[in-house]
Amino acid sequence: MRVTNDKLNYKARLINKLIGVPKGKSYGFYQSAGKIKLMDPNNRPVTPPMTKSQLYKVLDNYVKGMEDYRDRIKIRKRFK
Protein backbone atom coordinates (compact mmCIF):
# COMPACT_ATOMS: atom_id res chain seq x y z
CA MET A 1 0.00 0.00 0.00
CA ARG A 2 1.35 3.37 -0.98
CA VAL A 3 0.98 5.94 1.77
CA THR A 4 0.14 9.44 0.54
CA ASN A 5 0.12 12.76 2.34
CA ASP A 6 -3.70 12.69 2.23
CA LYS A 7 -3.78 9.48 4.27
CA LEU A 8 -1.43 10.94 6.87
CA ASN A 9 -3.48 14.15 7.05
CA TYR A 10 -6.64 12.08 7.53
CA LYS A 11 -5.08 10.32 10.53
CA ALA A 12 -3.95 13.65 12.00
CA ARG A 13 -7.50 15.04 11.65
CA LEU A 14 -8.87 11.95 13.43
CA ILE A 15 -6.44 12.51 16.29
CA ASN A 16 -7.51 16.16 16.53
CA LYS A 17 -11.16 15.09 16.66
CA LEU A 18 -10.67 12.29 19.19
CA ILE A 19 -8.54 14.37 21.56
CA GLY A 20 -10.71 17.46 21.20
CA VAL A 21 -8.00 19.92 20.22
CA PRO A 22 -9.34 23.52 20.22
CA LYS A 23 -10.02 25.25 16.93
CA GLY A 24 -7.01 26.96 15.44
CA LYS A 25 -4.60 24.38 16.86
CA SER A 26 -3.91 20.97 15.42
CA TYR A 27 -1.43 18.17 15.10
CA GLY A 28 0.76 18.54 12.04
CA PHE A 29 3.78 17.13 10.29
CA TYR A 30 7.36 18.24 9.84
CA GLN A 31 9.37 16.78 6.98
CA SER A 32 13.15 16.79 6.73
CA ALA A 33 15.59 14.65 4.75
CA GLY A 34 12.84 12.33 3.52
CA LYS A 35 11.61 11.57 7.03
CA ILE A 36 8.39 12.85 8.64
CA LYS A 37 7.56 13.39 12.30
CA LEU A 38 4.29 14.22 13.99
CA MET A 39 4.21 17.55 15.82
CA ASP A 40 1.76 18.45 18.58
CA PRO A 41 -0.12 21.81 18.67
CA ASN A 42 2.77 23.36 20.65
CA ASN A 43 5.29 22.37 17.92
CA ARG A 44 6.93 19.65 20.00
CA PRO A 45 7.70 16.35 18.27
CA VAL A 46 5.45 13.44 19.22
CA THR A 47 7.25 10.81 17.14
CA PRO A 48 10.84 10.48 15.99
CA PRO A 49 11.53 11.01 12.26
CA MET A 50 10.09 8.07 10.29
CA THR A 51 9.25 7.09 6.74
CA LYS A 52 5.67 7.65 5.59
CA SER A 53 4.72 3.99 5.83
CA GLN A 54 6.16 3.63 9.34
CA LEU A 55 4.40 6.78 10.54
CA TYR A 56 1.12 5.67 8.97
CA LYS A 57 1.26 2.34 10.84
CA VAL A 58 1.99 4.11 14.14
CA LEU A 59 -0.82 6.64 13.65
CA ASP A 60 -3.24 3.91 12.58
CA ASN A 61 -2.60 1.92 15.75
CA TYR A 62 -2.82 5.08 17.88
CA VAL A 63 -6.18 6.06 16.39
CA LYS A 64 -7.56 2.52 16.77
CA GLY A 65 -6.52 2.51 20.42
CA MET A 66 -8.15 5.88 21.05
CA GLU A 67 -11.39 4.78 19.35
CA ASP A 68 -11.48 1.57 21.42
CA TYR A 69 -10.94 3.58 24.61
CA ARG A 70 -13.72 6.01 23.67
CA ASP A 71 -16.11 3.14 22.98
CA ARG A 72 -15.29 1.46 26.31
CA ILE A 73 -16.00 4.71 28.16
CA LYS A 74 -19.36 5.07 26.38
CA ILE A 75 -20.31 1.50 27.29
CA ARG A 76 -19.22 1.99 30.90
CA LYS A 77 -21.31 5.19 31.21
CA ARG A 78 -24.32 3.46 29.67
CA PHE A 79 -24.34 0.69 32.28
CA LYS A 80 -23.69 2.83 35.37
Domain ranges of the chain: 5-72
What global pTM score does this model have?
Answer: 0.76
Beta-bridge mates of residue 31: 36
**At 1, is the pLDDT very low, low, confident or very high (cuts 50, 70, 90)?**
low
| pLDDT computed for residue 68 by the predictor | 87
pLDDT tens-digit readout, 48-64: 999 999 999 999 998 88
Cβ pair 15, 27 in contact under 8 A: yes
Amino acid (1-letter code) at residue 31: Q
DSSP string of 10-62, one letter each residue: HHHHHHHHHHTPPTT---EEEEETTEEEEE-TTS-BSS--B-HHHHHHHHHHH
| pLDDT computed for residue 80 by the predictor | 60
pLDDT tens-digit readout, 15-52: 888 888 888 888 889 998 889 999 988 889 989 999 99
